[in-house]
Amino acid sequence: MERFPLGSAVDVLDGSLASAWSALDGNTAGSPYLPPSIPGNALDHPTWDASEVAPPFFEVFNGIVYFDKSWGHYGQLYPYATFATVTRNFWKASFPAFKDLGGVDLDNQPKVIKMYGMGNNFSGNTGDHANDNNTRGSTNTNIPLTAFSETAPAGTYPDSGSWTKIEWFQGVDIPDSATKVKFGAYIRVEEDDDFRANNCGGVYIWQDVSTTTDPEVYVNSIICKRDADTINLVTGTQSTGLNSLQQWSGMIDTEDTNGNYPSTRKNNITHVQSIDYVNSSNYRQFRRIEKEVTLQTGTSRKLGFGMFFGENQSNLDGASVNTGSIDFYNGFVVFE
């Protein structure tokens, strides 16, 4: 993957932390900060330069937008009877050594967001909110439990070949003239907080070709995983029903009059066009991941972009083991 060129500045992305720290103390040799936004980026607040002191934590209703009403939340696990869903994240500084801000208010300065998992199951919830049913969402209005899997449909919970996810996403308009899109982000996976076995994280886009809440969608993704893990997610066109529902469902990509995303996107037909995999050992310092795909034809088109943490179902076990984490900065969607 290409590293972002910083010219004569200190290349923080290559790990020159000592020089970068001296720059913080007034040394003019270079900038200690991560790169600015991507030219032509269609996302709002891609560097998380939003006013929240901290991201919403642990229990958040799906579809509500945050960060100056730019990013929407989606999760799949219910922690309590309120049926809000889990989110696990916090801010980090956008300068070395990218530390937890500890609640420090950086106002609208650029920031890094860390996302991680739960490690607990919530099977105490009952009915169509039970977190131990991989067919959840197939016969009711509830959200699917399975985010993506290695077989279609997923196996019996807890299926080691299936994942849940939490994500922050945006929906954007596709220019009528655009034929391609390039998307990605800067990511980092710290060596001392690498993914628990089979957990992962990454970015993906979906393109709707219908206006219903159960659409036909086209999905492309980049997934970062541990070097030791082999993940082979389902690709290709999935049949209508559970097979499609369990692959990359989420929220719709159109906001309502209040600025929120009101409806769950339970995919009616899912075309998983391509998934690229990268190894976490190559991302101990921030590096850019990106992917270019050809858009579906038409006008008045919409595209959704998501940054996610994927947690393997076999790890939803309550064990006192770190889930691992992934840091995101400067997600981007650029149309061509």
- As given in the structure block, the two tokens for residue 126 are 């009952």
Q: Under the phi-then-psi rule, with left for phi > 0, alpha for psi from -120 to 50, and beta for the rest, what region is 248?
A: left
191 pLDDT more than 70: yes
Q: Please state the domain count of the chain.
A: 2
The DSSP line for 216-241 is EEEEEEEEEE-TT-------EEPPTT
Say whether pTM exceeds 0.85: yes
pLDDT of residue 107: 73
Domain holding 202, by residue range, is 38-335
In tens, the pLDDT along 100-135 reads: 876 666 678 899 999 999 999 888 888 888 999 999
Q: Looking at the structure, do residues 273 and 129 belong to the same domain, yes or no?
A: yes
Q: Looking at the structure, do residues 95 and 27 belong to the same domain, yes or no?
A: no
In tens, the pLDDT along 215-264 reads: 899 999 999 999 999 999 999 999 999 999 999 999 999 999 999 999 99
In tens, the pLDDT along 177-187 reads: 999 999 999 99
Q: What's the sign of the alpha-carbon dihedral 59, 61, 62, 63?
A: negative
Q: Looking at the structure, do residues 256 and 137 belong to the same domain, yes or no?
A: yes
What value does the mean pLDDT of the chain take?
Answer: 88
Terminal CA-CA length for the chain: 20
pLDDT of residue 93: 87
Q: Looking at the structure, do residues 9 and 124 belong to the same domain, yes or no?
A: no
Closest CA to 240 of 205, 265, 267: 267
Confirm if 290 and 238 have CB atoms less than 8 A apart: no
Confirm if 286 and 236 have CB atoms less than 8 A apart: no
Q: Looking at the structure, do residues 82 and 151 belong to the same domain, yes or no?
A: yes
Rounded CA Rg of the chain: 19
In tens, the pLDDT along 263-319 reads: 999 999 999 999 999 999 999 999 999 999 999 999 999 999 999 999 999 999 989
pLDDT of residue 309: 98
Give the CATH number, domain containing residue 101.
Answer: 2.60.120.260
Q: Looking at the structure, do residues 17 and 98 belong to the same domain, yes or no?
A: no
Q: How far, CA to CA in Å, does 42 sit from each of 134, 300, 303?
A: 35, 15, 10
In tens, the pLDDT along 38-49 reads: 999 999 999 999
8 pLDDT more than 60: no
Query: Mean pLDDT throughout 57-84?
Result: 92
Q: Looking at the structure, do residues 312 and 175 belong to the same domain, yes or no?
A: yes
Which amino acid would we find at residue 232?
N
